[in-house]
Structure 1
Amino acid sequence: MNAAKVVYTPVGVALGACSGIIAGALFKQTWKRLGHEGDTPSARDEERTWKEVLLAAALQGAIFATVKAAMDRSGATAIRRLTGTWPG
């Protein structure tokens, strides 16, 4: 295992936690701006339509994946700047 991987491991864990918090907040704001009031629909919420539940799930997944990739990539770039090696 190279030094960059060793250094990146705790950084990656911290970035993963932060990205989850950021993505959750971003999703809630996006959901509200789309004109939906209240909490996001749960798949088991009988009062919500299929369309609404699936739209929320797709949007949430896209936001989470994008934020996670951006955070992970920025962390790896920072580690390369510090160690000179990509943490691959």
Structure 2
Amino acid sequence: MVPDDPATPICSAKGCRAAAVWVLAWNNPKLHTPERRKTWLACDEHREHLSQFLGVRGFLKDVVRLEEWEPADEAPHPGGPAAGQGEGSAADR
């Protein structure tokens, strides 16, 4: 399902165009200060997959429903691991 509103946040999983329901907050300790949080978005279908991808690398810090997320300095990032983001692109550093 493609969200009708282009401003609607979408899932970060490759090829997924579903509306995001979850924010996955993460941090790569080799690149980021401990308090920094990068974010990926997930629909219900891809939440577990994206969480596992970050979790096995020790990056996952928190999973929060989108409506409960209170971002600090960063907006949720639309690029997920399969969208070429992997452990973090140059923009994530």
TM-score grouping bracket, smaller chain normalisation? under 0.3
Larger RCO of the pair (alpha carbons < 8 Å, separation 6+)? 1
Larger-Rg structure: 1
**Greater helix content:** 1
TM-score normalised according to structure 2 size: 0.25
TM-score (norm 1): 0.26
